[in-house]
Every structure is written in structure tokens, then in C-alpha cells.
Structure 1
Amino acid sequence: MAASSLFICTPFLLRPLSLKLRPAIKPALSSASSGPSTPALCGISQPKPIKKNPHRSGSMDGQRPSSRNRKKSSYGTSRRSILKKSFSQEQVAFTAPVPDDPIVAIIGGGMAGLICAQSLEKRGVRSAVFDTGMHGFGGRMGTRIIEPQGLVFDHAAQFFSVSDPRFAELVNGWLDTGLVREWPGLIGELEAGGHFTPLPSPPPRYIGVHGMRPLADSLAQTLPNVVRPCWISKLEPFNGRWHLSENGKNRGGFDAIVIAHNGKCANRLLASSGLPLIARQMKRLELSSIWALLAAFDDPLPIPGSRGAPPFEGAFVKGVDSLSWMANNSAKLSRSESNGTHCWTFFSTSAYGKRNKVPQENIPTVTAEKVKADMLGGVQSALGLPEGSLQKPFYIRLQLWGAALPMNSPNVPCIFDPRGRAGICGDWLLGSSMESAALSGMALANHIADYFQSGGAQPDEFAIGLHNDFQPLSGHDIGQFPGLESEKQTEDIRDRELVT
């Protein structure tokens, strides 16, 4: 998903390495240099630590610009600035020296933002993460728990796969600490009418042990500076730093900024920031809309079998306009089975989401009722049940992911404007997955650390992704999963490889 993740990685940029996590992955990683090569992310090789200045204050706060002192200096501690007219706003170019102990503001606490912060810490660069989540971190890594019944739903990212050794190393650590585990449940394709076909020889699939959001919250707990919920509403360059505010409240001054979210809010934030090149690239991103329906049933759904195999736990639905995915959270997470409930997550197709899109903050009742009926009707059709025979759920909740998944990509691991000391990371830069989100966060962190290490003397050498063209993305409506293709998709990929 749609909803870093609903979601997944770009097959034409990161070729699957057929890595087997646990126990085989550690030996594979230890000899990664002799294995298959993978594209190098910007600044990700041979990391160098940043030398800290012990005399520099650790406070994130900086003086907020005022109408009086703003007239004296626009940008740069030297009171010199370069303003270049570009597109619809002025391009800010900092001329102040890079400090010895810089601090970076990361706006967005999804997979990309959290991994970016972790990677900066490893390079000796301080950061602060600001996230809007009311219930927790994670962005698309959403899990909803309904009490007192104890109902659990992954209502965004459903699972993830691994194809890159850098992401595999992260996942190995999560396995060791019990944050994730392999999902052995049967998944496949479900054709309208109840015709189920398991996916052939799928790679290992991983899920959060208690859902996706607890994984994100655990990542956030390892970071020294996180602020949630916080909706950064303004970015203002002043005196050589970026000053952030939340509806007039000062949130501190920073030496660089990272935008780790997208959609209307990110576009609004960048519209008058002084970063026209970054703003232009963000505006070129196209996002799908997908409806998520959470439903809990008293009795098991009549799942069609396949050659004596156990009932499927997840299925990519084909031939049903209102449905693209269905998953049994109770079986997957093994938390709701004991109380006899059966919790399912259903996702619409992106085409259906587009036709029925409304403001997600204020969904009209008539639209909500129509979508519920259409999606439950889609479940009935997909399972091949007689009309009107699907049992009524005792709990149901509808959510619209208005900015669900990227539909195009610049195929670059990160975007960085060295003159404005600002960057972007996110799954959409490489594809649409938790893996691509993590790789993007790593790439930008190392790129920024290298930029700081250089002292910023030759900024143009660190510009990346500011002019890349976008290309359409392909994959499932709920994202890309490296190595998880049907037989037909595998044949198509082989045909393309033979031609090229």
C-alpha cells in the first residue's frame, strides 16, 4: 500500500539475489563482496564517521526568525547569500560553513525516515525525527488493535521480502531481537469464482511479530530525538540553518533537512521553502488511492482449497474490480484465534480507489456505505459464494489511503540539494516496498554524512536526483515484492531478459 510496504522494491533496479535469511544469510553477508553485485547507493560505501565538537551545544533549539532580524540577514552566518530565480520560487543557497557537529531534521517517521536517522547516528551525525502519527510511528507500517476484543489488523503494509544484502543485514538484526519473523502461511492468486493458485516457490516473507507498527515503534525507541505527534507546517532558512515550526511553535534550528514523506502535505510544505528543484521532483510523483476494509467475523470464511493444501492466509485477487488483496490477520499474527474471531484485511484495486476517491479526512457516509458494500460483495465474488451468503462481520472499519503507493519513480536512491542542504528519501525513489524505503534512507544518510565530511566546499559534487526523469512503476496494487512473482510474471521477466 499501499499503503514502505502495503509495499516494496523495483525489480529493474535491484535484481533479487535469492538471499535466504536465517540461518543462511549471515554467511552470505560475510562474503557479500564476492557475491552478485548490486547497484551502489549514493555514498553508501566505506562510511566515515563525523568528528564531533564537544564544545558545541547539543540543543536542537535555535532562534526563530523575527521580522526585525530577518531584514539583516537572509541566509548564511557570513550574511551573504545567493538567490537564484528558479521555477516559481527563489532557490536558497547556504554559504555558511558546515558546522563540526551538525544536526539534521527528518520530517516523517516511516521506514525511510527512521532508517535514515539510524544510519546518521552510525555516522556520528545527530538527528531529530518529527512524525505526524497519532497512534505510533511507521507511516504505511500501520497496525490497528481494537480493544477490548483484542482484534488485530495490519491495515497497510502486509508483509515484505528481501533481495538486497544491505536490507538483509537489517532484517537479520530484527530477527535476532524478535521484532520480525518469517510468515510461512500459504499465499497465492485468487481468481473470481474461488479459483486459488499458490505462488510458485516464493522467497521468504516477513512480518512484524505483533504487527507492522510495533516494528516501527521499536526502531524509533533506538533514536535519541523523536517527536510525535508533530505536524511541521513551515520550513524557513535563516542564519545558515533551517528553522522548523509547527503552527507557529518553534521546533528548532537544523543544519540540514530530510523530507521523508510525500503527498499533499509534503507538496504544501515545499511550496514556499526555497527549494524549487526538490519541490518540482516531489510534485512529479504520482500516487494511487486504495480503500482498506477491516472486518472481523465470528466464523471462518469458506476459503477454497487447492490440492489438499491448507487454507490460504493471503491472496492477490484477480478479476474483481473492488478487490485486489485479502489477508487473514488472525492466522498470520496468531493473536486473535484464541478468542474465536477471524480478522481480515481487504484492499481495493487502485482503479476502484481512483473512481471513488473522496477527502480521506472527511469521508461522506453515502460513499462509505457504498464502498463497504462493494468490497464485501467483491469478497463474496472472489470466494465464489452465492449472492447474499457472505456472513455479516461483527466489526467493520473503512479507511481510505488517499496517497497509497507510488505509480512512477525517478529510479535514484535519494534526492539531495547541496546548496539548500535538503534531501528526500522514501520507497518511491526506488520502487514501492519496505526494502526500497530502507535502502533510500540509508543512501541519503550516508550521502549527507559524506557532504558534511567534505565541509561543503564543493556542493555541486553532491547534487543527486534533482533532474532525473520519472518512469512508470509496475507491480501489485499493494506494492512490489522482490522475487514474489506468479509463473506468468516469471516467464515475462525471463522473456525480457532474453531480449535485452
Structure 2
Amino acid sequence: MHGLGGRMATRAIAAAGDQQQQQQLVFDHAAQFFTASDERFKRVVDEWMDKGLVREWGGLIGELDAGGHFRPMPSSSPPRYIGVDGMRPLADAILPESDLIEVVRPCWISKLEPFNGLWRLFENEKPHGQYDAIVIAHNGKCANRLLSTSGLPLLTRQMKLSSVWALLAAFQDPLPIPQTDSYGTFEGAFVKDVDSLSWMANNTQKLFPLQTGRPECWTFFSTAAYGKRNKVPQENIPKITAEKVKEDMLRGVELALGLSRGSLQQPFYTRVQLWGAALPMNTPGVPCIFDPQGRAGICGDWLTGSSIEAAVLSGMSLANHIADYFASSVEQPEEFAIGLHENLSQVEGHDIGQFPGLESQKPHVAEAQLTPST
């Protein structure tokens, strides 16, 4: 069954490790951490902190040049937050907070149909209720796919999305991370000048810093350029492609750490995943989209950028906007239209998102590049 949270994703796997003993392996395999700059989102994060759902990630994070040269994030960088037990449990914990919300799983809405002033939802012709308004919390391309059967005009056009490969790898022994007297050992690094690698993070140290004797579970992300060149149908990845991606990314780890070819210890567990619609490369730059004539709204981080903060603020903005719409007399519904005719502009950020304080942020690649890109 699909989990809640989308890219707030965590995998927990029972795998045989050293001496064939079953071990619990935990990976955050999409969103790695988040920051808070807007006061509205800061208040949300404070509530999560009070409930024990999130904590600051105090581990060392920075930028890693090929060859093993590490630079920590500036001390002025905002605090970094993580889910206490991973990102997905945070999404799961939000669900029971209101009895006004019913989540139906598994369910894949395939058609929206207007009927007598209401919206009827269908899953492969199976009805799923009638509603006054609809909200699509998905990227623009998927939103258009749903709206194509609704009779409404498409709300977003010419959206571009990057593709990024994720490699989950568990190692019985610690990786040979470069250490210095000044910084110690990093737990997460934005990798530069390695074509197949843009990020690496030690989930074991991040999520279980006080536990010893656990295998090291690492999440590795490719660059967007590498993802574009090696893109395949993400629901049916050919075995030969999966093996190639695994080998390329593990070789990228060697390059990033300054290790000789073939010297990296072999992981006892690996899994590759393609995020085929990873992050937006262009955006309308509005907090939400709402068509008052059709009572249809869209929210998501892609409307303003690529971060958990952007996603939360977009959802809050659309919720408040729809509430104001229904509380009004609706004599002039066009006054509540928002984001219907915006032009899309390029998004700046790292290949895996937007992170304040990161020096190497840039516009996401739009074309495949043959030179190293991060």
C-alpha cells in the first residue's frame, strides 16, 4: 500500500547482514531534511517539535568536492529538521489530528466529472463520492492529466520536471569518510564534480545517533543530468539499467571520497529507485492555483519551488483561499481566481531541492550534460 507523504518517504527493510542475521535497515529515500524561514511554517515546526515528531539534525552537513575535500555548511545556515523516526512517520502522525479528514487507501482517482453543481470522483469507473470542491495536491503534469476529463481548462502548461536516481545501500562496516580535526565526520554532503552523484547521507547516524552496532544505511542521489540521460519507465526498471545505475553511483561514491576504483566495500543490501518526476525545473511562482468557476484548486511545493516548507505553505494558502471563497456571497467568483494564467520561470536550487546557505545552488539542468554537474 502506498504511504502518505509523497516525497516525505522512508523505507524500513528487514535484510540479512553479517553472519546472515536479520537486521532492520531504515532509509529516508526522498526528502532528506527541511528548513523553516517563513513565520507561519516556523509555528508549524514548533508544534511538531513539542509533539516529539521532529528534531534538529545536529550532524555535520556540508559540500564535498570530488577527491574527499569537505566544507561544512556556514554557521549562519538555518537549523535543519528531520522526522524523529524518518520522514514518512511525520506524515503519518499528522493524519489522526482531525476527524474531518478521511484518507482512502489504496485509491487512484482517474476521473473527475461535474454533476449538478458538484464533483464526482471515480477510480476506474468506480464512484468515490460527490464534493463541493476538489483539491489536487500533485505536480502540474499529473494535475493536468486529471483535469483533462473534467471539462475545465488545463491550469498549468509547459511544466518541466527533473529525474533523479536514488540508491539505498547498507554497509556492514563504516564508510571511510574523510575526517579533519576541525570538522569530524560528516553525516550528509552535497557532492560536487561527480556526474553520477549529487548527495550522500548516513541514515544510521542521522536517525539513530545514540545506537551502536547497526550497519550503515546510506542514501545516495544522482545528479539531474545523470537522471535525464538514464531515464526509463520508473514503474518497470530494466534489470540491466538498475545494475548500471548501481555501479555508476557506487563508483561516484569512490570518486567523491577520493578512493581508488574498486576499493569501496560492497554493500550487503542495495535498491535503486528512479524519481521520474523529482523536482520542478520551472514554476508559476504563486502559492496555489484556484479556479472559482469550477471550484478546483491545486497546491504543492512546485508552485513556488522545491521544499517541504513550500509544500506546507501552499496547502495552507489554498485551504484559506477556498474557505474565504465559500464564506463569501460568491456574487463575483472571478475575484477569487488565482494562478490561472501565470507564466513559468526557472527554478534555482540544488539537484535535490532548495536549501538556504548552500553555495552551489543553481538553476536545475534542462538538458542532459556530459560534463560533471551538481
Same fold (TM over 0.5): yes
SS at match of 1:346: strand
SS at match of 1:316: strand
CA offset at residue 161 of structure 1?
0.5
User: Which residue of the other structure, out of 300, 320, 324, is the alignment partner of 2:198?
Assistant: 324
CA offset at residue 396 of structure 1?
0.4
SS at match of 1:393: coil
CA offset at residue 329 of structure 1?
0.2
Amino acid at match of 1:408: N
User: Which residue of the other structure, out of 221, 241, 251, is the alignment partner of 2:128?
Assistant: 251
Amino acid at match of 2:9: G
Conservation of the 8 A alpha-carbon contact between 2:144 and 2:154: no
Amino acid at match of 2:358: E
User: Which residue of the other structure, out of 40, 43, 61, is the alignment partner of 1:166?
Assistant: 40
SS at match of 2:349: coil
SS at match of 1:244: strand
User: Which residue of the other structure, out of 454, 469, 485, is the alignment partner of 2:358?
Assistant: 485
Amino acid at match of 1:156: A
Work out whether 1:178 is the aligned partner of 2:21.
no
Provide the identity percentage: 70
User: Which residue of the other structure, out of 353, 365, 373, is the alignment partner of 2:239?
Assistant: 365
Give the corresponding residue for 1:138.
5
Conservation of the 8 A alpha-carbon contact between 1:151 and 1:336: no
Task: Return the alpha-carbon distance in structure 1 between the equivalents of residues 245 and 339 of structure 2.
Answer: 39
Give the corresponding residue for 1:286.
160
SS at match of 1:232: coil
Conservation of the 8 A alpha-carbon contact between 2:166 and 2:272: yes
Greater radius of gyration (CA): 1
* Structure ranking higher on relative contact order (CA contacts 8 Å, 6+ apart): 1
CA offset at residue 199 of structure 1?
1.3
User: Which residue of the other structure, out of 461, 466, 476, is the alignment partner of 2:335?
Assistant: 461
Task: Return the alpha-carbon distance in structure 1 between the equivalents of residues 39 and 108 of structure 2.
Answer: 34
Work out whether 1:424 is the aligned partner of 2:291.
no
Task: Return the alpha-carbon distance in structure 2 between the equivalents of residues 293 and 277 of structure 1.
Answer: 35
Work out whether 1:228 is the aligned partner of 2:111.
no
SS at match of 1:338: coil
Work out whether 1:266 is the aligned partner of 2:139.
no
User: Which residue of the other structure, out of 86, 90, 97, is the alignment partner of 1:211?
Assistant: 86
Alignment deviations for residues 212-234 of structure 1 (CA, whole Å, 9 cap, x no partner): 00000111122331112210011
CA offset at residue 171 of structure 1?
0.3
Do the aligned partners of residues 366 and 264 (structure 1) sit closer, same or farther apart at CA in structure 2, a change above 3 Å counting?
A: farther
CA offset at residue 135 of structure 1?
3.9
Work out whether 1:295 is the aligned partner of 2:194.
no
Q: How does 1:336-375 map to 2 (within 5 A)?
A: 337-375=211-249
Q: Which runs of 5+ in 1 are unaligned?
A: 1-133, 491-500
Give the corresponding residue for 2:114.
237
SS at match of 2:129: strand
TM-score, normalization: structure 2? 0.91
Alignment deviations for residues 335-388 of structure 1 (CA, whole Å, 9 cap, x no partner): 794343000000000000000000000001111111000000000000000111
Conservation of the 8 A alpha-carbon contact between 2:41 and 2:309: yes
Amino acid at match of 2:328: S
Task: Return the alpha-carbon distance in structure 2 between the equivalents of residues 301 and 181 of structure 1.
Answer: 25
Alignment deviations for residues 303-357 of structure 1 (CA, whole Å, 9 cap, x no partner): 0123432200000000000000000000000179434300000000000000000
Conservation of the 8 A alpha-carbon contact between 1:141 and 1:156: yes
TM-score, normalization: structure 1? 0.69
Task: Return the alpha-carbon distance in structure 2 between the equivalents of residues 273 and 267 of structure 1.
Answer: 10
CA offset at residue 264 of structure 1?
5.1
CA offset at residue 457 of structure 1?
1.8
Task: Return the alpha-carbon distance in structure 2 between the equivalents of residues 187 and 173 of structure 1.
Answer: 25
Amino acid at match of 2:192: K
Task: Return the alpha-carbon distance in structure 2 between the equivalents of residues 336 and 394 of structure 1.
Answer: 23
Amino acid at match of 2:128: R
Amino acid at match of 1:247: N
Task: Return the alpha-carbon distance in structure 1 between the equivalents of residues 79 and 56 of structure 2.
Answer: 6
Do the aligned partners of residues 229 and 410 (structure 1) sit closer, same or farther apart at CA in structure 2, a change above 3 Å counting?
A: same
Task: Return the alpha-carbon distance in structure 1 between the equivalents of residues 42 and 180 of structure 2.
Answer: 32
Q: Which runs of 5+ in 2 are unaligned?
A: 15-21, 363-374
Do the aligned partners of residues 459 and 277 (structure 1) sit closer, same or farther apart at CA in structure 2, a change above 3 Å counting?
A: farther
Amino acid at match of 2:185: P
SS at match of 1:310: coil
Conservation of the 8 A alpha-carbon contact between 1:152 and 1:336: no
Give the corresponding residue for 2:18.
none
Do the aligned partners of residues 293 and 336 (structure 1) sit closer, same or farther apart at CA in structure 2, a change above 3 Å counting?
A: farther
Conservation of the 8 A alpha-carbon contact between 1:190 and 1:382: yes
CA RMSD between the two structures:
1.6
Moved over 6 A (4+): none
Conservation of the 8 A alpha-carbon contact between 2:197 and 2:223: yes
Do the aligned partners of residues 371 and 432 (structure 1) sit closer, same or farther apart at CA in structure 2, a change above 3 Å counting?
A: same
SS at match of 2:274: strand
Give the corresponding residue for 1:334.
208
Conservation of the 8 A alpha-carbon contact between 2:280 and 2:306: yes
Task: Return the alpha-carbon distance in structure 1 between the equivalents of residues 26 and 212 of structure 2.
Answer: 12
Conservation of the 8 A alpha-carbon contact between 1:175 and 1:181: yes
- Aligned residues, how many? 352
Alignment deviations for residues 110-143 of structure 1 (CA, whole Å, 9 cap, x no partner): xxxxxxxxxxxxxxxxxxxxxxxx2420000000
